[in-house]
Structure 1
Amino acid sequence: MSEDTQSLRGAGFGPVLAAQRAYADRTRRSRFGLMVPEAFVRGIRDLGYRSNGDAIAELIDNALQAYADRVDVLFGYEGTASNKKPVQLAVVDNGHGMEPDMIRMAVMWGGTHRENDRLGLGRYGYGLPCSSVSLGRRFTVISQVPGGGFHSVTLDLDAITAGEYTDASGDIIVPEPRLGELPAFVKRHIAATYPDGFRSGTIILIEKLDRLEWLTTQGLRENLCRQFGVTYHKLRGEAALYVDGAYVEPIDPLFLTPDFHLGALDEDRAQPFDPVRIEVRDPETDAYLGAITLRYAWLPPSFGSIDKSRDAVGLNANARFSILKDFHGLIFSRNGRLIDVQTRTPWTSFINNDRYIKVEVEFSATLDEAFGVTTSKQQVTVSPFIWDCLREAGLPKAIEQLRNKVKDAKMARRLEALSPPPGERRLSERAMSIASAMGDGGNGNPQWDLALRVSPYRVGFEHLAGQPFFRVDRQQGSRALHLNTAHRFYEEIYDGEVSTPELRSALEILLFSLGDVMLEGADEAEERNKAQLISWSRRLDLALGMLSDHLSLGDAQDVGPLAWQDDPA
C-alpha cells in the first residue's frame, strides 16, 4: 500500500477529486434516495460492530485512503456540564477532502467512487454510514477540498422516523449539502493543530451517542489507543493517530518490532520463527491470485508478568498482558490492517495456555473472496481452499513447534523456581535427614533446627518419557529422589495449578519415604519393587489422564471473544 500511496501523493489530489466528480456525474441522473425505507437504517444499526473501536476504525480507514498524514479522534462535551463521558465524537483528518456532491453520496450506503477497489482498505462504501449510526443516532459529514470551503450533510435517524427526509412520493431523500459550520470543540482543535490553516480534509461528527461501551472518557481513550495501536501498527508510516489528544503508540501483537510500544518493556523478548510467504494461484488455471505472509513468534512464559518468578495474574500482570489476551489466536491482517482474530482452525483450537504463541496471517485484498471478508472488515470466513494453502505451507506444524517452545520454557522456568538458592537445601531434604537420624537413635527432640542440618538426601529432576514418575538411588553417600517431569504426576500434581511449596515438600517426603523402603532389603526385593513402581506409574498416568479430561476444562476451552467485545459495564 505504501508504494501506491506515494505515487498518488506525488500526482497530487487532482486525480482523486476528478474520480469523485466523474462518479457524481454518473449518479446525478438517479434520485438521491437511500434506496429502502427507514427500516433499512434501523436494521443496519442493529447489526452493529464488535466494539466502538471497530466502528471508529472504519472512519480511520477512510482517512488513510484520503492520504491524510494525521487523524484525530476527538471527544466533545458541548451541551453538558460534565466531561466524564463524551456526548459528541468526531474523527478529523487532513486528507484530500470531498467536493459537495461527493459528501452527499458518501452519506449513502454504497456511495463511493472506490467501489471494489483492492489497493486500499475499503471496497463497498458502507463503512462511513454503518459505523456512524452504530455509535449515535445522528452524524454529519463536513469536508473541504483545497481552495474550497466547508460543506456538510447531516443524517438524523430520529428525523427519518419523523418523516423529515421523506419526499412527496414517499422516498427518503438525502439532504443537499450546505455550507458547513464546525462545532466549537472541532474548531478549537483545528486552530491549535493547524496554525497555518486547514488546507483540506474531512470531519465525521457523530452525535446523540447512545452506544458507547465505556463508561468514562479515560476508559474509552485508553482502550481505543490500545486497539488502534495494534490494528494500524503496520500503517503508521502513513499517518499519525491521536485519540483525545493522546498519541497512539504502534503495538506489534507479535512483539517482534522492538522500537514499537511494549516491545522492550523489560528484558523478556519475543522469539521469532522465519516468516513464510505463500503465492496463491488458481488451482485450475494457475493464475496468480494474491499473496499470504505468515509471521510467527513465541513468548517467554514470564512475558506478561511484572514479577518474573510468578504468573501474570491480577496485579502481577504487566501492560503486555492485555495484548496477549485481546489478540489471542490466529491474527488476520488485510493490506496491512488487522481485521480479525480467530481461535479455531480445522486442525486445532487455540486455548488459554496458548497466549504465549503468536501467528499472523497477512493477505492481500485480491484474496477477499477466498477469505470471506465482510463489508465491515471485522471478520474473515476462511475458505477450505485457503485452509489447504495454509496447511501445505506448514502452519499446523509451526503451531505445534511454537507450543513446544513455550512448554520447554515453562518447564525450565519451573525447575529454576523449584531449585533452592545456592548453598541451601530443600525443606524436604532437611526433614528426611533429621527423620532418618532420629530413627537411627537420635535424641527424639522434635524441635530440630532444619536449617542447620547437612542433608544426605537430594532432590533432582529428569525428563524421561515412558518411565516411572519417580525413582530413588544412592549417590555419594546420599539418597537421591529423581522426579520425572515427563510424567503426568509432575505436571498435574507436583507442579499443577493448585500446587503449593508446602504440598511439594510433603510429596517429596512421601516419595523419599517410599524410596527408602524400596532400597532396603535384598537385591531380589529391590528388583521386585522397581517392577511394581513401573506398574504404579502406568496406572497413575492413565488415571490422571482420565481425570484431566473431566477437570482440566479451563485450559482446554477456547479463549472466547476478544476482550474489547466484552461489556465493560
Structure 2
Amino acid sequence: MLGLRMSKVTAIRRGNTTGSPSDTSIIALDRFIQSTRDSGYKGTVSAIAELVDNSLEASARRIDIHVRKSTAGDDFEVSVLDDGTGMDAGTLTEALRFGGTTRFNSRKGLGRFGMGLPNASLSQAKRVDVFTWQSGESPITSYLDVDQIVSGTLSAIPKPIRHSLPSFAKGKKSGTLVVWTRCDRLDHRRVSTVEKRLHGGLGRIFRHFLWAGTVITLNGKVIEPVDPIFLKTSFGDGSAKRFQETITVEVATDPENPSSSVGQVEILFTELPVAEWHELSNDEKRSRGIANGAGVSVVRGKREVDFGWFFMGAKRRENYDDWWRGEIRFNPDLDDAFGITHTKQQIKPKDYLIEALQPIIEDTAKALNSRVRQKHLTLKTEKTGVEAEKLASRRHDRLRPIPKMKTQSGDTRALADLAGRHARVKEAITDKTPATKYLLVQDEQDNGAFYKPLVTDGVLVAVLNSSHLFFRKFYEPLVGQSGLDPAKASHVINLVLLAATRAEALMNTKDERKTLTKFRKEWSQVLDALLRS
C-alpha cells in the first residue's frame, strides 16, 4: 500500500477560533478538516475507488467491500478488506496523514500525492479506522475522527496499537482493513442503491484489473467488469468491433525540456452493432449503456480516470455518436500532460497534449459519425424494402415459373461474397424452407450498373449499387424519406426512361432487339402483377 518509511509525527496547531494573534500555525486544523471534506471527490464511488487503488498498490489480489447499516443507529458503515502486503506502524501513520506517503510524485503506480486514504475517507465518513498486518504479525490500528479533530482532542495521528480485527473481518496472511463509521455523506441512503452504483462504477474503473484476475466483491457478490467501449461485452445478439488499428502517439513528458523522456498514448475506437441493436427499446439501450454514452474512456495505468467528450475539437456531440466509443490509454509518466489531480477522477489536458491528440480523435470521430449515420440510413431504406420483398414472395407463384437452370459460377461466388457482408443474404441462402425469397440489398459495387440480379435456387437478390448516382440522388432519399422534392423526383424518373431508351438504341442486331423486347414485356407484366393490390 505504501512504501516503508518511519517519520516522527508533529501536531498541526488548531486554528484559534477567537482570532487571537498568538496562533501563527499555517493550517487552522479544525477548519481545514471540515473544509477538506467538501473538496476533491465526486462521490462515494470515486472515494471507495481510492481505497481500492491503495489495495492494488499493495499487490492485493482480492478486495472485499461491505456496505451496511450501522448496528448503533441509522448510520452506515463501509469496510474495505484486502490481502495485500500490509503496513508497519510507521507506514500506517504516514498513510493517515494528509500528504503523508513514501511515493510522493511517483509515476510508477496508481498513487502519487499521499492524499488518498484520509481525504477519500473523511469525504464520506466522520471516522476512519485502519487495521493492518504483515505476514507473521498481529494487526495494528490507528484512526482519524472528525469530531475529535474539530473539538481539539485529536491533533496528531494516534500511535498505532496492537488490536484484533473486528468480528466481521476474516483475517488473511497479510492485508489491510479500512473501516468508515458515521458515514454521513454517502451518495444514497439505501444500501441497495449504493450497491448498484458501486457495481457499475467500480466495475468500469477497474475493468482492466478485473480482466487480469483481481477479484473485488461487494457484500459478498463479485463485481463484474464493465466495458464502456463494448469490446469485451457480448449480450448474445452482437458485440462491438474495432475500428482501424490502435493508434500510438508519442508525447514528451516535459515539452520545455528537449532531453525529457517520451511517453506513449494509445488510442483505439470501436463501433457498436447498429444493425443488431438499433431496434432495442429505449430502456434496453439505457440498460446496456448505449443511450447517452458517447465519448472516450481515459485510462491511466489500467485504471479509468475519466470519461467524456475529450479532444473532439469542433465535432459536436450527436445522437449518432452513441454508436461508437473510444479509449485513450497512458501511463502515469504523462500525468502532467493529462492534468491528473490527486483524486484521479478527471483530466484537464494541457494545450500541447490537445494539439497532439485532437486532430486524430476529431477526424476519427467525424468518420465514425458518418459511418453510423450511413448504417442507420441503410437500415431505414432496407426496412421500406421489406414489404416489397414480402409482396414479391407472396405473388411469386402467380407469375410465370422461372425455368430451371444451372447456377452460374460467377453468381455463386458473388452470392457468397455478398453473404459475408450481409447477414440477411446468408440467412436466405441457408434457409431450407420451400418459399421463394426476394431480397433488396444495398451494397457498394464496382461494375458501374445501378443494380445487379443474383439468382440461386429459391432466392432472388436485387443488389442495388449504393455508389451509383441514381441510388444516391434518387433511390436513397426517396425510400429514406429525407425530403426528396417531387419535381426533382419526376425529373429523375424521366431521365431514367430516356437513359433506358438510349441504351436500347445501341442494341441493333435482330437477336439483341428480340431479347430486349422480351425483357421489357416480361418486366412490365411482372411489375403490373406486383403493383396490383
Matches within 5 A, 1:16-35: 19-20=3-4, 23-24=5-6, 27-28=7-8, 30-31=10-11
Name the residue aligned to 2:225.
250
**Structure 1 position 118, deviation (Å):** 0.8
**Structure 1 position 163, deviation (Å):** 2.2
| 1:151 pairs with one of 119, 123, 140 | 140
> Are 1:174 and 2:157 counterparts?
yes
**Structure 1 position 352, deviation (Å):** 3.6
| 1:198 pairs with one of 153, 172, 179 | 172
Name the residue aligned to 2:285.
317
Query: Is the Cα contact below 8 Å between 1:343 and 1:351 reproduced in 2?
Result: no
> Are 1:208 and 2:182 counterparts?
yes
| 2:91 pairs with one of 77, 94, 102 | 102
**Structure 1 position 325, deviation (Å):** 4.8
Aligned counterparts of 1:29 and 1:80: Cα–Cα separation in 2: 32
Amino acid at match of 1:364: N
**Structure 1 position 370, deviation (Å):** 1.1
Matches within 5 A, 1:192-341: 198-236=172-210, 237=212, 239-257=214-232, 263-272=233-242, 273-281=244-252, 283=255, 285=258, 287-301=260-274, 305=277, 310-314=279-283, 316-317=284-285, 319=287, 321-322=288-289, 324-325=290-291, 328-341=294-307
**1:457-511 superposed Cα distances (whole Å, 9 cap, x missing partner):** xxx99999xxxxxxxxxxxxxxxxx999968998899658xxxxxxxxxx99x96
Moved more, 62-71 or 128-137: 128-137
| 1:380 pairs with one of 329, 347, 355 | 347
**Structure 1 position 30, deviation (Å):** 4.2
Amino acid at match of 1:201: G
SS at match of 1:56: helix
Amino acid at match of 1:69: R
Aligned counterparts of 1:484 and 1:418: Cα–Cα separation in 2: 18
SS at match of 2:314: coil
Query: Is the Cα contact below 8 Å between 1:331 and 1:342 reproduced in 2?
Result: yes
Aligned counterparts of 2:292 and 2:58: Cα–Cα separation in 1: 29
Closer, same or farther in 2 for the Cα pair 1:423/1:413, shift >3 Å? Answer: closer
Aligned counterparts of 1:80 and 1:228: Cα–Cα separation in 2: 28
Amino acid at match of 2:384: L
Query: Is the Cα contact below 8 Å between 1:155 and 1:174 reproduced in 2?
Result: yes
Closer, same or farther in 2 for the Cα pair 1:144/1:492, shift >3 Å? Answer: farther
**Structure 1 position 234, deviation (Å):** 1.4
Aligned counterparts of 2:36 and 2:473: Cα–Cα separation in 1: 55
Aligned counterparts of 1:67 and 1:109: Cα–Cα separation in 2: 23
| 1:163 pairs with one of 135, 152, 169 | 152
Closer, same or farther in 2 for the Cα pair 1:463/1:155, shift >3 Å? Answer: same
Q: Which runs of 5+ in 2 are unaligned?
A: 15-26, 393-439, 445-465, 499-533
SS at match of 1:112: coil
**Structure 1 position 311, deviation (Å):** 4.6
Query: Is the Cα contact below 8 Å between 1:69 and 1:94 reproduced in 2?
Result: yes
Closer, same or farther in 2 for the Cα pair 1:32/1:106, shift >3 Å? Answer: farther
Aligned counterparts of 1:118 and 1:69: Cα–Cα separation in 2: 22
Amino acid at match of 1:300: P
Aligned length: 413
> Post-superposition, which runs of at least 4 consecutive aligned residues in structure 1 deviate over 4 A?
29-36, 460-464, 482-496
SS at match of 1:142: strand
Amino acid at match of 1:245: G
Matches within 5 A, 1:286-435: 287-301=260-274, 305=277, 310-314=279-283, 316-317=284-285, 319=287, 321-322=288-289, 324-325=290-291, 328-344=294-310, 345-391=312-358, 394-421=360-387, 423-425=389-391
Q: How high is the sequence identity, in percent, across the aligned residues?
A: 24
| 1:91 pairs with one of 72, 80, 97 | 80
Query: Is the Cα contact below 8 Å between 1:295 and 1:360 reproduced in 2?
Result: yes
Query: Is the Cα contact below 8 Å between 1:463 and 1:484 reproduced in 2?
Result: no
Amino acid at match of 2:347: V
Matches within 5 A, 1:440-479: none
Aligned counterparts of 1:52 and 1:487: Cα–Cα separation in 2: 54
Decide which structure has the larger Cα Rg and report it.
2
> Are 1:120 and 2:132 counterparts?
no
| 1:65 pairs with one of 43, 57, 81 | 57
Closer, same or farther in 2 for the Cα pair 1:229/1:491, shift >3 Å? Answer: farther
**1:526-557 superposed Cα distances (whole Å, 9 cap, x missing partner):** xxxxxxxxxxxxxxxxxxxxxxxxxxxxxxxx
Amino acid at match of 1:183: P
SS at match of 2:172: coil
Query: Is the Cα contact below 8 Å between 1:61 and 1:121 reproduced in 2?
Result: yes
Amino acid at match of 1:265: F
**1:7-53 superposed Cα distances (whole Å, 9 cap, x missing partner):** xxxxxxxxx88x41xx21xx317447795412111111112422311
Name the residue aligned to 2:123.
134
**1:338-357 superposed Cα distances (whole Å, 9 cap, x missing partner):** 00112243332433431111
Aligned counterparts of 1:493 and 1:413: Cα–Cα separation in 2: 11
Aligned counterparts of 2:442 and 2:275: Cα–Cα separation in 1: 23
Query: Is the Cα contact below 8 Å between 1:270 and 1:299 reproduced in 2?
Result: yes
Query: Is the Cα contact below 8 Å between 2:107 and 2:332 reproduced in 1?
Result: yes
Closer, same or farther in 2 for the Cα pair 1:125/1:325, shift >3 Å? Answer: farther
**Structure 1 position 127, deviation (Å):** 0.8
Query: Is the Cα contact below 8 Å between 2:126 and 2:146 reproduced in 1?
Result: yes
**1:336-388 superposed Cα distances (whole Å, 9 cap, x missing partner):** 11001122433324334311111111111111111110110011111111111
**Structure 1 position 105, deviation (Å):** 2.0
Aligned counterparts of 2:321 and 2:68: Cα–Cα separation in 1: 40
SS at match of 1:47: coil
Name the residue aligned to 1:49.
41
Aligned counterparts of 1:488 and 1:163: Cα–Cα separation in 2: 80
Moved more, 67-76 or 405-414: 405-414
Aligned counterparts of 1:55 and 1:325: Cα–Cα separation in 2: 26
**Structure 1 position 151, deviation (Å):** 1.4
**Structure 1 position 101, deviation (Å):** 2.5
**1:261-298 superposed Cα distances (whole Å, 9 cap, x missing partner):** xx121232212121011222355616433110001111
